[in-house]
Amino acid sequence: MRVYVPATWPMLRTMVKNGVLEPIGGTAFALTPKLRESYTSGDDEELEYAAMNEAARASLRLLSVEFGLGEDATTPARRVVVAADLDDVALRPDLDDGAVRISGGVPMEKIASVHVDAEDAVHAVRQAAAAVDSADMGDLDAEFLVGEAEDHELAWYDPSEVALLVDMAL
């Protein structure tokens, strides 16, 4: 099953160094039956895109925590989503429509692609990361800020390009 793992830049660095992506809490997103039911129309490609967007929103939540803790002032304000093909995936109906749980780390050979915000999204992503919790609680101004970030398309990278991408950002 194709899954979309929310990540951050430090997680990408660690993935390049160790050859394994360690998802936070085993949470990922996929085209689940619940996600399919939540849309009145759309083919599999469109619904996979919706799952990837849920992972991108989760990446904002991860960035919110990193920025809030001030642990890594060098963390680029960019959403990161890692797409992988995995067999051991469990549905998570207690979370978002497309949420799934994966067990263990994701080895590089299972990664299909990596999706990252471009430089022009940094300002919007930083604002959205600060507002995502309020947006989740229904704050319309915060929802607007999150929407501004979500208007930016994530750039696609082949797994073979990720080491260079990480090096360029240092």
Distances 63 to 31, 80, 125, 130 between C-alpha atoms, Å = 24, 10, 9, 8
Residue 89: per-residue pLDDT: 92
Residue 79 has pLDDT above 60, yes or no: yes
Taking only the tens place, the pLDDT of each residue in 134-162 is: 998 999 999 999 999 999 999 999 999 99
Give strand ranges (E) for the chain: 2-7, 20-21, 27-30, 80-85, 89-91, 99-102, 106-107, 111-116, 155-157
Average pLDDT, integer, range 85-108: 88
pLDDT over 70 percentage in the chain: 95
Question: Distance (Å, rounded) from C-alpha 10 to C-alpha 16?
Answer: 10
